[in-house]
Structures are given as C-alpha cells and as structure tokens.
Amino acid sequence: MSSTLSRLAAFSVFLLLMAPVFAQENGVLPCGQNQAQDALEALYPEAKVERELREATSRAAAAAVLERGSNDDEVYIIPVVFHVIHDNGPENISTEQILDAMTILNRDFRKLNPDTGQIVAGFVDIADDMDIEFRLAKRDPQGNCHSGINRIESELTYDGSNQMKQLINWPRNSYMNVYVAADAAGAAGYTNYPSEWGANTDGIVLKYDYVGSIGTSNAYRSRTLTHECGHWLNLPHLWGSSNNPNEPDNCDVDDGVEDTPLCLGSPVGFCDVERTTCGSLDNVQNYMEYSYCSKMYTTGQRARMRAALNSSVADRNELWSEQNVEDTGVLEEELLCRAEFSVDRNEVCLGEALDFNDESFFGVSEWSWDFGDGTTLSGSDADVHQNPTHVFEVPGEFEVYLTASNSTGSVTSQDPVVIRVLDDGPLPGELQEGFEVSEGPWSEGEWSVETLDGQAWQIRETTGYSGLRSLYVRNRQNEGGEITRVTSGTFNATGMASLMIGYKYAYSHRTTGVTDDRLKLQVSKDCGMTWNTRQFHRGLIDLPTAPDHGGNFYPSGEDEWSGHLEEVSNDIYFVPNLRFRFEFESKGGNNVFLDDINIYGVDSLGNILDLNEASDGPSFGLTAYPNPSQGAFTVDARWGGDGAQLLVRDAAGRLERTIRLNGEGGKRTTIDGLAQGVHLLELNAQGRREVLRLIVAR
C-alpha cells in the first residue's frame, strides 16, 4: 500500500473512532486567525499577493537568524496595551486576570513554564527560549502615565470584529493591541499575520473566558494568548495556514518552519504525544497546535518570529526599539501616578452591598475612600481598605472618590464614579409610560436598558399606539438568539391586595418564515437580583399582531397592536423594592414594539392605593385603560376628601352618565357600552375638576 493510501486509511479509522470526542468547546473555535486573514485579504486583495511573495523572504530571514546562533541573544521587549470592551458583564475582566495572562505569556515565550519537563523526548532538544518579553505600557500615545489597560463600554463587545477595534487602536508601531470582548468573532481568539494593510485593525482579539488562568478563564484555556501571539509574529499553525486540522492533504503543506515536522494537525483537545500522521512524530505539544496540551515553541519558530520583529512589515521592528521602549515607559520605575477604581454595579437598592475594586497605579500602599454619603474609609490594610464593600443607607445619587497614597505622595481619582441608590419608592396611584417627550418615567431616566447581544430597546420617534412614540427593538437586524431588556426603577408595593400591569405590544413575522420570538413580562421581588416571568408572548402563539412583513415592520394603526393586562396577587411581590422588566429574545423575526405601560395597585375592595407620603397630601387625578378602546374602559380616579363623582359627556358636551364614587383616596371602576367616537370623562371632588378624553374605535 502506498504511503498516501496508508495515511488516508489511518485518517479514516481515526475519524470513526475519535470524531465524537472532539466537539469544539461550546461551539467556540480555538482560533479564528484563518477567517480573520481571509477577511483582511478580501478587503485588500493586494495583501494576499504581497504575503505570498514575501514568504520566501521570511524564510530566508529566519534562516539568517538561525545562522547567527548564540550571537542572536538580544531580548526583545514588546509594549502591550489591553483594551477591555465590555457591556458591564463578565467580559469586563479584572486587572488581576489580565496580569495573570501577561505572566503566562512571558513564561511561555521565555521557556519558564514548569511543564517543560513533560516535553516528549523527540522535541525536548529543540524547545527553545524566544528571548521575547511583553510588558504592559506605562505611558499612552501622548506620553501620559497609564496602566496599560483601557476599559470601554460598548455593545460591540458582542460582535468582536474589526468594527469593534475602531473604538480604540493605539499605534501599532508602538504597542501590541490586545482586545478582550464577550465574543471574538466566534473563536477563542484571532489576529492577522503582519501586513502592510489594515493598520487600524492590527491586534489580537480574545474571548473574555480565554484570558489567563483565573477569573472567567482557567488553566486549560490559558495558552490562547500565547498561540495568537505566534500568529501575530508570523507563525502559521503546524499544519499550515488553515483552520482545518486533521485533513489528509495537510501532509503536503509546510508551515515555513524548518524543525516542525509535517503533520495533519491535532483535532481540538486531542493530546496524543505519540501521534504520527505524516511519516514522523507530530509536535503535538507545540503552542501552534489545537491539542490543548501545548508546552513549547521550537528553535525554528523562534527564528521566524524574531525575523518578523526585525522586519518593517507592520512596523514590528519599531516596537522593541530603544526609543519606543522609553516612550511607552515599560521599563520605568513604578511611581504612583493615578487613582482609579471600578464597582460591580452603578445602580443598587437600599441596604444592598456594593464591591469597590482599586485599580490605581503604581505602588499604592494606602487608600482613602469617600463614598459621597458622608461615609469615608481610610487605611493601609489591603485586606480591608483596598477593595472595600459599602452599603448606602439613604437613596439618591452619590459621587465616590478614591485617594491613593504611598511614601512619595498621593493622588485622587479625577472623575467620580456615580452610584444611584434606588429608594423603596412610593408607587403612585398609577404608573403611566407612553415614552413621549418629557412625559413619564422614561423621560426622567427611570428605566434602564440591558442588552446581552444584538439590537437594544430604543425609542421609535414616529410610531406609537396612542401617541407619537414607543419603545422598540430593531429585530429585523437580528439573526436570532439576541436578548435585550428594559427594567424599571423600584416601587414600594407593601400593603397591596393586587397589582395590575397593562401594556400594548406589536410584532410581525418576516415573510421569509415563521419564527418563535419571545416577549416576557417579568417581576422581581428583590430589587432585580432574581426575576419571575408573569407573561410570555411567543411568536408561534400570541406575539404576532399584524401580517408578515417582507421589510421592516412598523405598525400602521391600532389594529396592528394588541394589549395585555396582568394581575399580580401573590403577596410575595408586595415588597418595598419591587421592579418590572420586559425581556425580548429574538428568533430572527421582525421588529417588536412596546407602548402605553400602566401599572397600579389596589386594595381588597378595588380601591386604588395612594402610597405617596402623607406630607405630600392626597393625589388627584384621572386615568383610563385601554384608551382608545372598543367601548369599555377601566377607570382609576384619585381624590382627597370624602366622595367624588364621574361625569361622562359626548363630544358636544351633552351629559351621558353620572357615576358616584364613595369613600376617599381612590376608586377603580369600569365604564362600558359607550358609542364610537370621542367622549369626555370628568372627575369632580372637593371643588377640583379634571377632564380626560376617551376614544372609542371599533
């Protein structure tokens, strides 16, 4: 049998035996370099031509490095900056995790990793020290003191593509840019080979749970940055420039490195150190493999990477120059120059603890916190004072400052971190939200939007159920699986017998197919720590309110809306920090809209509860839901004193009905049987009068 047939036969047997074992972890590619390179060269076709023409030069330059032997012993120092692109989720990894990743990267490149003792005999003699070190920058491009870590809040973290890199990109001739994001274009990490093209996208992107060995990551994933740095310095995978290990044709592809044997490449997570696929022992433990048991680079890979650092391609030769090392401050003494900190949340309820994390630099030995509520904390015990926990006892917005000190002096944080402490707020007779300008809680910043992926809840200026505006999700641009939420502030619901939540919504499928998008009304009894779904609208059941639309769906009238009124009567929800939210999960349908949210509480007799403080005096007002309607309205009236009356008139002012309301404080009642058209509803009590227009449309 020929050697080629032998390889194919062995390969087929291997696939049959091992294919079920090596599924990619959670669907994440170990490396997206090939896809990123293809995208770059599709955008700049000249880049591919130049790279292929330059390959011979790269190999010759690496050979020259090898010829220098022991004379090539200079340690190249590369300044690094991390850009953490986050949406206040777990992707906003800690400084400690970044420092851990840097430690592992330097350990691997200097062959100081303790597992070198496990390198198999066939490769132990060519496992080499790269004489390359990576240091976090201590100065930014303008020469200012810097930690080498930027944190930028952006929903592009869920994208992780070159568009995200446009948020920030320090000059590639001075820094190696490393991006941490919630998603790395579907991979654990990716980068490009050095290229004259795409200077504003040069850098390495890492998925947040593949950074270092602590925090959101683990030791198994900790070599991702080491692998991507290899690509960034012109190393292909051992089986060549593709993302397809274990292919029969890979034996015919050379990676451009003299001492790495031809191989098929290990499937993801398959560590067989005795594996032979192309007539010789595979270097399974190489950092440019997918085996996840990497421990080494070879002498030949060292030469190729050092040749890249001596090339002007992508300005790699400028990075380690004496001038750049000085300009980026990587070798400077760690002097105290900046007080900074982060907090786990910027919004909290009364009595909840907040964790503050010091991120000051450098050499801090004492901390003084001013929490803005009259409370301070100072001292030099790192366990107590560096990363404190604080509980705000009063509601409001508080500006928090940190002063960091050591024997050379002190610095204070320049911009305060603002903490919003939510009150156990009184629930008014009715919370009304129509998303109109200068009307309702939205205009006062009382709602917050959280988007896990895709398009966010946002205002639609020209589409509403009863007004001009509504809240909507541009779901037509989503592909499916994206989630966005809009969440209320807190309300004091103690003393209620039931809670009524009404709203209008609109949605349609695309004409390309029926989808099962989901809109949920959720309630939290613990200030947003946990949520229970009270109403679940599904695309296959009751979410669609209009015919399918081929383009963007915008409801054209009231008949393309629907409504829901949810009654919450379980007393576990009648707490002083009740919250509501609407969650939308895309399954690839069309746009979804939300409008006319009405929330109010009632007692066991149907009276509307006025929970405003006594010093505010009784409220006076009149609301009706739904409005417009098909002739029936739920009416909420609030007044002070004993007794009131409702008058219903037609559009010409002629009296149609008189309804007497007994008691004091408030009453919920119903009005039905009204004719089509406009009616005027009037509340009279204690010499006060309020009129509301009712619209009946059939």
Last residue of a domain, one of 583, 614, 645: 614
CATH of the domain at 624: 2.60.40.150
Distance CA 308, CA 302 (A): 10
Percent of the chain with pLDDT over 90: 58
For residues 672 and 147, the model is more confident at: 147
Distance CA 346, CA 418 (A): 7
Q: What is the dihedral of CA 165, 169, 174, 178, to 10 degrees?
A: -40
User: In the numeric block, which tokens belong to residue 194?
Assistant: 């050095």
8 inside domain? no
User: What average pLDDT does the structure give for the chain?
Assistant: 87
Last residue of a domain, one of 366, 393, 422: 422
CATH of the domain at 33: 3.40.390.10
Listed range (77-81, 515-519, 658-662) with the worst mean pLDDT: 658-662
The DSSP code sequence of 11-57 is HHHHHHHHGGG---GGG-BS--HHHHHHHHHHH-HHHHHHHHHHHHH
Position 8 scores a pLDDT of 38
Tell me how crowded residue 694 is: count the other CB atoms within 10 A of its CB: 20
81 inside domain? yes
Distance CA 158, CA 453 (A): 6
Position 13 scores a pLDDT of 37
The answer to whether 228 is a known catalytic residue is yes
Confidence of residue 1 (pLDDT cuts 50, 70, 90): very low
Task: Identify whether residues 187 and 238 lie together within a single domain.
Answer: yes
Mean pLDDT of 522-539: 90
**What is the total count of domains within the chain?**
4
Spatial contact of 291 and 266, defined as CB atoms under 8 Å apart = yes
Burial classification of residue 430, based on how many CB atoms lie within 10 Å of its CB (0-12 exposed, 13-18 middle, 19 or more buried): buried
Spatial contact of 432 and 597, defined as CB atoms under 8 Å apart = yes
User: In the numeric block, which tokens belong to residue 618?
Assistant: 């009784």
Position 11 scores a pLDDT of 39
18 inside domain? no
Task: Identify whether residues 684 and 598 lie together within a single domain.
Answer: no
Mean pLDDT of 406-413: 92
337 inside domain? no
Q: What region does 488 belong to: left with phi over 0, alpha with psi -120 to 50, or beta?
A: beta
487 inside domain? yes
The one catalytic residue among 228, 436, 482, 585: 228
User: In the numeric block, which tokens belong to residue 45?
Assistant: 């076709």
Is a pLDDT exceeding 60 seen at residue 549?
A: yes
**Sheet harboring 448-451: ordered strands across?**
448-451, 483-487, 579-585, 518-524, 532-538
CATH of the domain at 405: 2.60.40.10
Task: Identify whether residues 695 and 604 lie together within a single domain.
Answer: no
Position 3 scores a pLDDT of 41
580 inside domain? yes
Task: Identify whether residues 159 and 305 lie together within a single domain.
Answer: yes
Distance CA 329, CA 331 (A): 6
Task: Identify whether residues 556 and 669 lie together within a single domain.
Answer: no
Listed range (2-11, 551-560, 614-623) with the worst mean pLDDT: 2-11
In a 13 Å sphere around the CA of 685, the CA atoms on its Cβ side amount to: 27
Distance CA 199, CA 166 (A): 11
258 inside domain? no
Is a pLDDT exceeding 80 seen at residue 423?
A: no
For residues 77 and 492, the model is more confident at: 77
Listed range (71-75, 85-89, 420-424, 536-540) with the worst mean pLDDT: 420-424
Task: Identify whether residues 347 and 428 lie together within a single domain.
Answer: no
CATH of the domain at 566: 2.60.120.200
Distance CA 632, CA 460 (A): 28
Q: What single DSSP character describes residue 187? A: B
Task: Identify whether residues 119 and 212 lie together within a single domain.
Answer: yes
Task: Identify whether residues 439 and 532 lie together within a single domain.
Answer: yes
CA end-to-end distance (rounded Å), the chain: 83
Taking only the tens place, the pLDDT of each residue in 107-144 is 999 999 999 999 999 999 999 999 999 999 999 999 99
Distance CA 295, CA 358 (A): 34
Task: Identify whether residues 117 and 208 lie together within a single domain.
Answer: yes
Task: Identify whether residues 459 and 553 lie together within a single domain.
Answer: yes
Three-state secondary structure call for residue 209: helix
Last residue of a domain, one of 422, 454, 470: 422
Length of the chain measured in residues: 698
Task: Identify whether residues 596 and 626 lie together within a single domain.
Answer: no
Taking only the tens place, the pLDDT of each residue in 294-306 is 999 999 999 999 9
40 inside domain? yes
Taking only the tens place, the pLDDT of each residue in 596-654 is 998 888 776 666 664 332 223 345 777 777 777 888 887 877 776 677 888 888 877 78
Task: Identify whether residues 98 and 166 lie together within a single domain.
Answer: yes
For residues 292 and 670, the model is more confident at: 292
Domain span holding position 46: 29-244+300-327
